[in-house]
Every structure is written in C-alpha cells, then in structure tokens.
Amino acid sequence: MESIQKNKDTDWTLQAKHLLKIADLSSHEIINLIEEAALLKQQLKAGIPHPHLQGKTLGMIFEKSSTRTRVSFEVGMMQLGGHALFLSSKDIQLGRGETVSDTAKVLSRYVDGLMIRTFSHETIEEFAHYATVPVINGLTDPHHPTQVLADLLTIYEQKGRLKGLKLCYVGDGNNNMTHSLLEGAALTGMSMTVASPSQYEPNQGILKNAQLLAEKNGATISFTHDPVEAAQQADVLVTDVWTSMGMEAEESERMKHFQPYQVNNALAAHAKKDYIFLHCLPAHRGEEVTADIIDGPHSVVFDEAENRLHAQKALLKKIMKK
C-alpha cells in the first residue's frame, strides 16, 4: 500500500455522474477510488488538511435510519472542507407527497450533491434522472455501493491486493450487501462464492452480470446452498444480518432457514488460516455470527466501519469536484 500511494497519480476523472450501484464504475475507477481513499486516510492520520470540497454542500436524504452512513458522510464532508445537510424524509415535503422529480429539481438548485438512503432502488433512479447534481446511493434494498467500496478498501489494506483472492459470503443472498459485493468482486478480479438457502438466492440478473464481469477479469462467481463448500480456502469471510431493515415481520421465518448459515469456528476452519472476517454492522452476535468470530483475531469489522469515512471521501472528492 505504501509504495502504491507514493506513486499514485490522483489526477484522474470519474466518468460516472452518479453512483447508484457498484457496476456504475469501471474496474479501473474502483481501484483508483480505493487508492485515493488510502491516500486521504494517510493524510488524515498525518494531520495534513485536504479541503478539496471547500464551499460545497451535500444534501443527505434519509428514509432509512443509519449510524455509519450519516456520521461518515457528515464527517467526511467536514474534513473535505464542505458541509453536509441532514434531511429526514419526515421533515421535508417528500414525506408529505411532493414528487421525487420535483424534490430532485429543487434540491439541485441548493446543493452540490445528493446522498439518498431509501428502500426502493427505483426511487433513487428517479432522483438521478431529474437531479442536475451527482446522486450517491447510501443504501437501497438491492444495492449498497458505498459500503462495498469500504469493504474493498479494507481487504486491500489487509491483503495488499484484490485480484486473485477468494471471498465467501454466507447468509441472505438476496440483499444489498450480496449484490454489491458480487459486482465489486467481479470488477476487481476477486472470485466469490455465495452460500444461502434456496429461498434467499441472489437476484439472477445481478448474479449473471457479475459472472460475465468476473470472467473478463480472470475471476469466477458461483452460488451454492452449502456454506462449507463456499468457505473452502476463502481469504475473506463475509456475512450480514439475517433480517434486513424493513423485513422485521419475516424474522421468525428467516431464523429457521438461516441457522445452518451462521459464521462460527466450525465454518471458519474451512477458510485459509489467515482469513479476515467482514460484517457491515450492526451485527447480532449469536445469530449470523458468533462472538468469538466477530470479536476474534481475524475480524476487521471496525477497520471496515472506519473505512466508510475514507472510501466515501474519495468518492465525494471525485464525483462532486467535477
């Protein structure tokens, strides 16, 4: 990482106007963003100011509550010399029936970028269609690109590379983390295996597209119902909560199906000896992961959480500075 950062030319252009999903980026752009984030992190630790977004304002619309997303974006904008404005959907006219298109057009007159954390991906696509400023997906039901940029940065820091590694995801295959990890792994040349119950398989369109992208980058994407098969010789083990926000009514049913998919010592024994464990948090110890794994020596979940800040700063710098 050190030599890469010293030689890194940060004067490059992000082609995407918006970031709605990881697949909006090219392989080259993902690597550049990760290296940009590593450099910004190094500058922060060294106390070197980097006010690249002086005078810029990011509007943040939250229809889903958050800890890491809100704090990391607010702090990130402050460290970049700008300002972040928290907008709860309950406090703006969007929550009283104003159309998405009108809201996007109005807010584009006030702010330099928009970050939206919502349920429907169609909502953020509509925002992006009508907004005249960059729109960033802070989370939708099928995609979580900003979290996965942080995950890729964390893996890069821990392993020194992405290409050629094997990532194993165990749990709910049909959620935003799985889908964004599939795209991120495929674009960076990591092989990835997803293990989930048959009722919770990944979106087939996203899975097939990831397989095509992976093939171009010398990697493989696969799916299985067997978590032990998925974990074989994995460099990275990843899981997420079994019941995502907005699905609480399904919790008891989900618990029945996901019990065999817990990340524990028995499962981790099939991974490589130097595997790392990731979880986007919040975590439910004793459900999707045991305490001795998430709090153990292989876990890098708090580095991963911190890296939301650095990865998002890289993204904000590149997407809002244009």
Can 312 be counted among the known catalytic residues?
Answer: no
Copy the structure tokens of residue 276: 């790392």
Among candidate residues 18, 143, 147, 262, the one labeled active-site is: 147
> Half-sphere exposure of 293 toward its Cβ, with a 13 Å CA cutoff?
26
Active site residue 280: yes
Partners of 30 in beta bridges:
none
Residue 58, classed as helix, strand or coil, is: strand
Q: Which of 163, 166, 227, 172 is nearest to 195 (CA)?
A: 227
- Residue 106, judged by CB atoms within 10 A of its CB (0-12, 13-18, 19+), counts as middle
What's the full length of the chain, in residues? Answer: 322
Q: Please pick, among 18, 52, 117, 254, the residue that the annotation labels catalytic.
A: 117
The burial class, CB within 10 Å (0-12 / 13-18 / 19+), for 282 is exposed
Q: Which residues are annotated as a binding site?
A: 66-69, 93, 117, 144-147, 176, 240, 244-245, 280-281, 308
Q: Which of 141, 179, 279, 280 is catalytic?
A: 280
Of 18, 52, 143, 144, which residue is the catalytic one? 144
> Is 144 an annotated catalytic residue?
yes
Which 3 state secondary structure label does DSSP give 60? strand
Specify whether 147 is catalytic.
yes
Separation of alpha carbons 243 and 254, rounded Å = 7
Q: Are 127 and 12 in contact (CB under 8 A)?
A: no
How big is the chain by its Cα radius of gyration, in Å? Answer: 19
Catalytic residue among 151, 240, 254, 279: 240
Structure tokens given for 195: 């293990």
Active-site pick, 52, 279, 308, 310: 308
Q: Give the type of residue at 56.
A: K
Task: For residue 320, count other CB atoms closer than 10 A to its CB.
Answer: 22
| CA distances in angstroms from 238 to 32, 69, 145, listed in the order given | 23, 19, 16
Annotated binding site for carbamoyl phosphate: 66-69, 93, 117, 144-147, 280-281, 308
Tokens of 258: 């996901």
CA–CA gap between residue 19 and residue 311 (Å, rounded) = 13
* Binding site as annotated, residues for L-ornithine: 176, 240, 244-245
CA distance 230 to 263: 12
The residues assigned a catalytic role are 117, 144, 147, 240, 280, 308
